[in-house]
Amino acid sequence: MRGNDFATVLGDQLNARHSWWCEQRDDVLYLMMEIRSETDYAHHHAQKVLAPFACMRGFGAALGAAGHQLRYFRIDDSDNGQTFAANLRSVAQAVGTTALERMEADEWRVEQALDAAAVECGLEQTVVTSEHFLVERGELKAAFESSVPRMEFFYRDLRKRFDILLMAEGEPEGGHWNYDVENRAKWPGTPQAPVWRWQAHDLSELWREIQAAGVKTMGEPNASQLKWPLTRREAREGLALFVREALPHFGTYQDALSSRSLTLFHSLLSFSLNVKMLHPLEVIKAALGAYKRGEAELASVEGFIRQILGWREFVRGVYWARMPAYARQNALEARRPLPEWYWSGKTKMACLAHTIGQSLEHAYAHHIQQLTITGNFALLADCDPDEVDAWYLGIYVDAFEWVEMPNTRGMSQHADGGVMGSKPYCGAAAYINRQSDYCKGCEYDAKLRHGERACPFNSLYWHFHERHREMFGDNPRLKMPYRLWAKMDESGKKATLHQAELYLSDLNAL
């Protein structure tokens, strides 16, 4: 049966609770597509192609089973035009309509591509909300366009709006809005961290299709046992496991790093959230339920909710208010290419070898690994934020540009000049050693600033501050490091800067 209208469902719009699905609309043909323009805009991890495609196919099958009309372009279909415009044109001609309905795209790049495709194909668009985020895009743009609010106050406003962790008089539960100071412990190995919670899927056939189509990827596909949630049911089961097994200790060890656990007590829910198999409010309510039942302490629950209610919505505000200029910002004028070992994990630095190796194998690293290890090094080494952006966007299964770019270009690389943070997020080896077990047994010595075995993080840390003194020297949040640097003897400072310059001259050798 041909419909009188058609509508697109993108790979990150798998929201089974969207109002579109509340009734069967016989006059609408839904369109889903696996296309090369979306697999090839970045060099993606194999699992970042496999998992979304598998989720899309499952979602499409569910729509068909529910009676909705669906046209699904698989990656290897002979009539797949491999772009939005080509497929929109062929379907519009087949349906005999010039009316297109779609949800807002999350990424600026995709929104522009769909708008351009609609114009090229002569389609009149009706654009609706994805019914996923807690703050509408227009409201965010108005609030963030002239000046970005402090995340803390943005988060408090949303706590009040949604009545989350508030006492009857409107004050925060426990008397504090933020329990971050309680969430910085190093993990000693106990309590035991939960194991990877997603079941294995055999996607060997899908992987063969992807390879046959010529899609180039990096990392381990693990196609015969891909361990990511592919359905809303699996995502909800994973949420329940997180709340039961990890949330009680999430807060305490939120900033910890360890080579003994892939996940520590992190949720692993960001992929499910970002493709919309889970709604942020249901995730928040699940965490609140654990607190009300006495199964998780306030500091853990508040810290987790702050990530979903505060940070996730906040970075989206920065993104949509500042694009496309935000993607070109390079306030520190960083120009060095990423070291080659970011693509192999073959470095003598134990922390980076572990984090990058884990990322290549699992398409996953928790946010502290990303900030404190890979992002920190790229910042200190003056790496080009364009290359850093591309690496993060490609390697992680949950990385979509709206959430990746403000975290990478802003929070991690300070390329936005302070929009996301009032100071650069960087640290020397002492911080890494305090939060992790990475330094034990490393070829480099975390205590040395210069010399053959000196940890690169140390000399690069001081070199970073010295070369950016004009920008950061008067920053009140950086008084301590500049004061410590001033107290060092001149010979030690000279040796430290010389060591950094040696490392910077050949980052690939580290």
User: What pLDDT, in 10s, does the model give residues 319-372?
Assistant: 999 999 999 999 999 999 999 999 999 999 999 999 999 999 999 999 999 999
Interatomic CA distance for residues 43 and 54, integer angstroms: 19
Output the pLDDT for position 2: 43
φ, ψ of residue 457 in degrees (nearest 5): -60, -35
| Chain mean pLDDT for the chain | 95
Give the residue-averaged pLDDT of 180-197: 90
Gap between the Cα atoms of 303 and 472, Å rounded: 29
Q: To which H or E segment does residue 156 belong?
A: helix 151-161
Residues near 147 by Cβ (< 8 Å), separated by ≥ 6? none
Q: Token pair of 489, please?
A: 């003897």
Residue 121's domain comprises: 5-128
Q: Which amino acid is at 47?
A: Q
Domains: count for the chain: 3
Largest CA distance in the chain: 81
CATH number of the domain at 372, please: 1.10.579.10
364 and 312 in a common domain:
no
What's the rounded mean pLDDT across residues 115-121?
A: 96
347 located within any domain: yes
Question: What residues does 28 pair with on adjacent strands?
Answer: 5
* Least confident among 71-85, 141-155, 289-303, 433-447: 141-155
Residue labelled with tokens 């419909």 = 3
The percentage of the chain sitting over the pLDDT mark of 90, rounded to a whole number, equals: 93
Is the pLDDT reported for residue 4 higher than 70? no
pLDDT(183) > 80:
no
> 3-state DSSP call for residue 167?
coil
* pLDDT of 184 over the 90 cut: no
Residue 6, classed as helix, strand or coil, is strand
Per-residue pLDDT tens digits for 230-259? 999 999 999 999 999 999 999 999 999 999
Final residue of a structural domain among 105, 128, 151: 128
Confidence grade of residue 217 (pLDDT, cut at 50, 70, 90): very high
Of 92-106, 173-187, 429-443, 493-507, give the lowest mean pLDDT range: 173-187
Contact 53, 205 (CB under 8 A): no
Given this model, what pLDDT does residue 498 score?
98
* Residue 146 shares a structural domain with residue 88: no
In a domain, 294, yes or no: yes
Same domain for 354 and 500, yes or no, is yes
> Which tokens in the block code for residue 494?
């000279």
**364 lies in the same domain as 466:** yes
User: Would you give the distance in Å from CA 229 to the centre of its chain?
Assistant: 17
- Angle at which helices 313-322 and 151-161 cross, to 10°: 120
Note whether residue 423 is domain-resident.
Answer: yes
Assign 234 to helix, strand or coil: helix
Q: 222 and 112, same structural domain?
A: no
What the block records as the tokens of 302 is: 């508040």
Residue 135 CB coordination number (10 Å): 17
Tokens of 211: 């390879």
Beta strand residue intervals within 291-391, DSSP E: none
Q: Is residue 335 part of a domain?
A: no
Shared domain for 166 and 222, answered yes or no, is yes
Please check whether residue 15 is in contact with residue 365, taking contact to mean a CB–CB distance below 8 angstroms. Answer: no
Residue at a domain's end among 94, 128, 162: 128
Give the least confident one: 109-123, 179-193, 485-499.
179-193
| 316 and 344, same domain (yes or no) | no
Q: What CATH number does the domain containing 248 carry? A: 1.25.40.80
Mean pLDDT of 476-501: 95
Is residue 331 situated within a structural domain? no
Shared domain for 170 and 153, answered yes or no, is yes
Q: Are 342 and 429 in contact (CB under 8 A)?
A: no
Asked if residue 38 belongs to a domain, the reply is yes
The CATH code of the domain that includes 72 is 3.40.50.620
Structure-block tokens of residue 429 = 């080896």
Same domain for 199 and 309? yes
* Contact yes or no for 315/403 (Cβ under 8 A): yes
Which conformational region is residue 97 in: left (phi greater than 0), alpha (psi within -120 to 50 degrees), or beta? beta
- Roughly how many angstroms between the first and final C-alpha of the chain, as a whole number? 62
Residues 43 and 113 in one domain: yes
Mean pLDDT over 468-492 rounds to 94
Does residue 183 sit in the same domain as residue 303? yes
pLDDT above 70 coverage of the chain, percent = 99
Q: Is residue 326 part of a domain?
A: no
Which of 128, 158, 187 is the last residue in one of the domains? 128
The predicted pLDDT at position 1 comes to 32
Same domain? For 124 and 142 the reply is: no
Within-domain flag for 74: yes
For 105, the token pair is 């795209």
Q: Nearest-CA neighbor of 349 among 462, 446, 459, 260?
A: 446
